[in-house]
Amino acid sequence: MRVKGEHEIYCCGARVRISEKDIEVLTEPIVKYCPLHEALYGTKQIDVDAVRKSVEMKIAGFGFCCANRVFDAEPVVAYGASEMMRVWLEKELIDCAVMVCEGAGTVITNDGTLVQGIGARLTGIIKTSPVKEIIERIEAYGGVVLDEANARIDQVEGVKRAFDLGFKRVAVSVAGFQAEAISEIRKVEKIADADVLIFSVCNTCVGKEDVRHIVKADVACASASKILRKEIGSKALMQLGVTIPVYALTEKGKRLVLAYLAEFKDKLVVFRTERLPYHVENKGPKLR
């Protein structure tokens, strides 16, 4: 597998540059242990080398950032954004999904298989450059790339393009480091008189300023963020999971999460609680 172009992502809170020359971990990871990272990559202690290794495994195993990028992925995590969006599309609860893919930028698609293929093992993409073969594969699935020339990441414009394409019920993922887009999308939704489900993802590095935008999402993943667990978790109507919680923040978010759980194959425990977030000691990621 050979990387094409240049891309930057967040992995365990570390900023990583991926190019044809090298994999450079630009900052120290802020997470020292993550149960999901251990399950996927066998890493018990996260440091710069562990981050680099996990990126190398994405490249070798799935063609991440490569011409032969794999899109036929099975579900990876129980409560992931792509896993949920795939089911919502298959159940016709939404019309399309607006996502981000390395090598393509913002993508609009109504194909659940493509949604899962893009989202599986994906971490927060800060910026990317066009990879012709990735764009061609997305378009072969019927997906629309917002900006083929530059692989621009712009979820607000992605939602607008979805409306232009005739979609009225749109699900969009927004990374925590782009949280301002959530407030902008809500404005666009109101003007268009449409229906947008906002899924806030990749929130490990969020700060207090980001929280005021994330609270406007319908569903939010806590990632490894303590502030999100405290400030967003306390406002949740429903919590999925304990290790890396996912919060339903609105009635619409709760309704679609329950629709996803109706198709969930594993056994579940459901119980009432007086308040959220629900926390279990020594479960979940550990920060430095």
Q: What is the mean pLDDT of residues 35-64?
A: 93
Residue 141 and residue 118 in contact, taking contact as beta carbons nearer than 8 Å? no
Average pLDDT of the residues in 148-171: 98
At 11, the amino acid letter reads: C
**Lowest-pLDDT range of 18-32, 72-86, 124-138, 189-203:** 72-86
Q: Measure the CA–CA gap between 18 and 235, rounded to whole angstroms.
A: 37
Whether cis (ω within 30° of 0) applies to the bond prior to 35 is: no
Q: Where are the domains of the chain?
A: 73-275
| pLDDT band per the 50, 70, 90 thresholds, residue 265 | confident
Residue 190 confidence (pLDDT) above 80: yes
CA distance 202 to 56: 20
Q: What is the pTM of this model?
A: 0.96
